Each structure stands twice: as C-alpha cells, then as structure tokens.
Amino acid sequence: MRIAHYALPSRALLAPMAGVTDRPFRQLCRRFGAGLAPAEMLIADQRLWGSDKSRRRMDHEGEPEPRVVQLVGSDPAELAGAARVNVDLGAQIIDINMGCPAKKVCQREAGSALLADEALVERILTAVVRAVSVPVTLKIRTGTTHSNRNAPRIAGIAAGCGIAALSIHGRTRADFFRGAAEYDTIRQTRDALDIPLIANGDIDSPQKARAVLDFTGAEGVMLGRAAQGAPWIFRDVNALLGNQFAAPLLRTFKTGIILQHLESLYEFYGEHTGVRMARKHLGWYCRQLSEAIALRPMLMAAEDSASQFAAAKHCFERWAELEAA
C-alpha cells in the first residue's frame, strides 16, 4: 500500500485516538507491524499549543517514518498554518480530522460536524494541500446521519483537492460509537474513488480485517479499540493478510511487552502523569488477558511508578506462569 511516495510496510494501520495513541503506544504498534501510526489529534489553534498535552502530541522523537500529524479545526487558514508549522517540525504526512464525533469537537464545528458543510470541507482541504509540500490525508465518517451518508461526495471533493488517501469510519456522526459499523457506504465510496481508501470501524480480528478488505475493496484497514491492550494484533492481521498463520504469542513474551510499555510511559510522561496514563493501559491489558482481570484492583491502586511497576511485574509474571504450569 502506498500513500503518495511512501510505501507502507503493511495494510493494517493504527487509528489516531485522543488519549491513547501517544508516542510510546505508536512506537509499540509500529514495532508489531502497524503500517502507519498517526499521532493524537492536535487542535489547529496555535494559541493552545503551550500546554504539556499539546507539546507531547507534537513530540515524534525516535518514531519510524512516515510521521503523521492529525489536525482538527474548522478554519481553513488556521489549519493551513498549523500544517506548515508541523511540517517544519518534522511531520511527513498531515491528516485532517473530519471524523471525531465528540461533542466538545463538534460544538466548534470541527471533526465530523464538518461533513454537514461540503463547501467548507473543500475550502479546508484546498488550503491545507496548497500550504504544504507533504501528502495530506483525510479521515471521515460515512456521513452526519443515516439519511445523509455523504461520504461518496466528500470523497470526490477530497480527491479533487489533491488529498492523497482517505480513511472512513463506518458510522455516522449521529451514531457516535453505538451500534455496528457498516461497510456498504465504504464500498460505494471505493467505486467512485481513485486514491487509496482505508476502512475503519469494528475491525477487531485478522478475520474481520480480511473480510472488510474483501468486501469494500479498500487498500487498507485501520484498527483502533482492538489495539488497546493488544498492540500485537497488527502482527496477527498482517500474517493473515499475507496468507500465513501467526503462532500465538506466549504469555511470557506479552508480559515483557507490557512491562516495557510501562517503562516507556514513565519516561515519556514523568512520574505523576506516567502512573495515571499507565493505569489506563493496564486496565486494557487486564481486559484482554483473561485471568489477569482479577488483578486489576491491585494495579489501579498503585500511587507511584515503583509500586505500580512492581505490582504489574508480580501480577503478569504470575499470569504467565499459569500458562506454563
């Protein structure tokens, strides 16, 4: 799969998720074969970039190429300016977020709210594409409501503006994350599009990834929630898409990955925030790893990195020992 001049190493990509796809998690998913790992969405208003959160979202040190920055906003000039700054800071692909359904984003007429104004979509995409020399991609939903699934029209606008690739989540803005994703609209969009298309929504297994690719004709799939607590899913998806079988990972190996992830979070965020961010990921690891769910309260109670890491090491190593017993 290619995006402009970039040949991606796989067809399975990590979806950008606010509060989740920070630099440590992106690096981990790329290690397991994610073909691309966009950063968390960054608001285009540069006046808000002084916070620690924004600075971390703009930190791409040590990431494999191509590095993707996702911008969210509704003002064409503001988005174009933010794109230029991020390219100067090392972004190699700019992704425009027109898919987020969160109220705080849509209330600013940004994210998936933009799908209701196709003229504004065109102005934004034109401005950003003209502002930078790197590829610009777009992430959208199938439409605003079930009666207005306008993704095929948005796709046509995007292609005409010079967008290099399009990702579509198989829900409308009104759906938020409720119900099941539908792929008929993505398939219809594929029929009218001549740029790479990436399907997203409820892709939670290698088999589902293969089925969605076959049905939609998309070049790639984007995994989000399925990677939470299971970054190794990209390895399994890539194997199946290559008509191979990936042997199950041993629990001892997964335990090592979890502990390495914790260490990277502490290093990236520092003591206080690192412990808080690690709780989130530990909750997902417990959910994914069957017997470890009973260990969750102990892990959540830790107040500092040393005790949290020690508890995780004890709990997950014991969990790994059960497999060998």
Give which of 146, 36, 134, 35 is closest to 91, Cα–Cα.
134
Of these residues, 29, 100, 286, 315, which one is catalytic? 100
Neighbours of 217 (CB within 10 A): 15
Side chain identity at residue 248, one-letter code: P
Q: What span, in angstroms and rounded, lies between the C-alpha atoms of 93 and 86?
A: 9
Q: Do you find a cis peptide bond into 66, omega within 30 degrees of 0?
A: yes
Lookup: tokens for 8: 């991606």
Grouping H, G, I as helix, E, B as strand and the rest as coil, residue 138 is strand
Q: What span, in angstroms and rounded, lies between the C-alpha atoms of 264 and 261?
A: 5
Q: Are the beta carbons of 26 and 56 closer than 8 angstroms?
A: no
Length of the chain: 325
Q: Are the beta carbons of 23 and 268 closer than 8 angstroms?
A: yes
Sign of torsion over alpha carbons 21, 93, 7, 159: positive
Neighbours of 168 (CB within 10 A): 31
Q: Is 100 a catalytic residue?
A: yes
List C-alpha distances in Å: 263 to 109, 310, 317: 38, 11, 16
Give which of 239, 198, 200 is closest to 223, Cα–Cα.
200
Catalytically active residues are 100
